[in-house]
């Protein structure tokens, strides 16, 4: 088994069929290999007292559809069908929890950039994945830096599309950060305002108010970000979405990443400047507790965010 394959499962959904992991292949001439033409999602399924349950499934599938529209990529499966396919993929792999990766890929065997008429194939992969930024990241926080690589300027790569090609930019930032012994890099937008991490949105806390960059700062419209905003407001905190100067990173009381893979990961330093006390702060912990509690079924799902797999798969039969 190849290095890094510890998360693999046994079945992959491919355009309506669950096929063996080993058979989920594409040709080297596929358009995506040469031109990065794919859009994808990352969705978590949590182990809850009523069995595996998928977090904000409809919202993720809707964003996949949005990404397809932006790239004029025909998606043959509707939102309901894809959502059901995600649930079927969890059930077929018999896992309690996992990370789901739906991906729509331009395949075909056609040379040249022009993508229209190149076939699109859709896959859904279930991957067993712990916290993305490290085992103790959620409790102790992570050390990060400001990246020398910026998010793409408006009118270059559409940041609201979760497209494979965008992640070349993320890779540059991530590798730079890791080589410099940080866990993650924070990228600024093309104007020098705070954007986001290579695969996470960012929240700052100062004087009890939460701040996060707006959608025009080259960020992905994160579903965890939206969950954080709703939880924070319901807990009575003010949340401001606005352009944020870089130096806010050095004077915040608390800071954390939000993302499906990273969940709610506290940040304890930026460019070796300590954030607050250097420990996860009380507002971060309160929101993290609510978020994880709802996702894992420990706290009542007052938002209708979780879809239990067994009930949905049973109802389809």
Where does this chain bind ligand PLP (CB under 6 A)?
Answer: 42, 170, 196, 199-201, 220, 222-225, 258-260
- Catalytic, 279? Answer no
CA pair distance 79, 90, nearest whole angstrom: 17
Q: Which residue has the tokens 């949005």?
A: 66
Q: How far is CA 154 from CA 66, 140, 243, in A?
A: 18, 35, 14
Q: Which of 11, 128, 162, 174 is catalytic?
A: 162
- Decide: residue 47, CB within 10 A, 0-12 exposed, 13-18 middle, 19+ buried: middle
Between 88 and 200, whose beta carbon lies closer to ligand PLP?
Answer: 200
Q: For residue 17, how many C-alpha atoms fall within 13 Å in the half-sphere facing its CB? A: 6
Task: Report yes or no: 104 and 164 within 8 Å, Cβ to Cβ.
Answer: no
The CB-of-49 to ligand PLP minimum distance in angstroms stands at 24
Quick one: 13 or 291, whose CB is closer to ligand PLP?
291
**Closer residue to ligand PLP (CB): 76 or 171:** 171
| Collapsed DSSP state (helix, strand, coil) of residue 120 | strand
Give CA 204 to chain center in angstroms.
Answer: 19
CA dist 151 and 119 (Å) reads 29
Helices (H), 71-186: 79-93, 137-140, 166-179
Cβ 219 to ligand PLP, closest distance in Å? Answer: 6
The least CB distance from residue 224 to ligand PLP, in Å, is 3
**Least distance CB 215 / ligand PLP (angstroms):** 11
Contact assessment for residue 282 and residue 289, using Cβ atoms and an 8 Å cutoff: no
What residues contact 136, with CB distance under 8 A and at least 6 apart? none
Nearest distance from C-beta of residue 314 to ligand PLP, angstroms: 28
Q: Which is nearer to ligand PLP, 42 or 276 (CB)?
A: 42
Nearer to ligand PLP, 53 or 118 (CB): 53
Show which residues are catalytic.
162
């Amino acid at each position: 088994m190849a290095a890094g394959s510890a998360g693999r499962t046994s079945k992959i959904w491919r355009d309506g069929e669950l096929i063996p992991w080993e058979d989920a292949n594409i040709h080297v001439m596929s358009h995506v290999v040469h031109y990065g033409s794919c859009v994808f999602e990352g969705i978590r399924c949590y182990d809850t007292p009523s069995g595996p349950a998928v977090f904000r499934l409809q919202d993720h599938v809707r964003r996949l559809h949005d990404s397809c529209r932006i790239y004029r990529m025909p998606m043959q499966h509707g939102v309901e069908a894809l959502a059901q396919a995600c649930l079927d993929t969890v059930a077929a792999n018999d896992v309690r929890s996992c990370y789901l990766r739906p991906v729509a890929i331009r395949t075909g065997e056609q040379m040249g950039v022009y993508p229209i008429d190149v076939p699109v194939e859709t896959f859904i992969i279930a991957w067993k994945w712990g916290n993305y930024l490290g085992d103790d990241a959620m409790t102790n926080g992570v050390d990060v830096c400001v990246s020398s690589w910026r998010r793409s300027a408006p009118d270059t790569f559409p940041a609201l599309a979760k497209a494979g090609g965008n992640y070349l930019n993320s890779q540059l930032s991530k590798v730079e950060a890791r080589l410099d012994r940080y866990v993650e890099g924070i990228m600024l937008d093309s104007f020098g305002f705070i954007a986001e991490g290579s695969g996470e949105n960012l929240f700052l806390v100062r004087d009890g108010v939460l701040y996060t960059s707006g959608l025009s700062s080259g960020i992905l419209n994160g579903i965890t970000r939206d969950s954080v905003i709703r939880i924070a407001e319901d807990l009575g905190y003010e949340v401001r979405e606005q352009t944020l100067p870089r130096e806010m990173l050095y004077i915040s009381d608390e800071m954390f990443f939000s993302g499906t893979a990273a969940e709610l990961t506290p940040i304890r330093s930026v460019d070796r400047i300590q954030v607050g006390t250097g420990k996860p702060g009380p507002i971060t912990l309160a929101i993290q507790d609510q978020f994880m509690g709802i996702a894992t079924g420990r706290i009542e799902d007052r938002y209708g965010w979780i879809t239990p797999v067994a009930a949905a798969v049973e109802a389809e039969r």
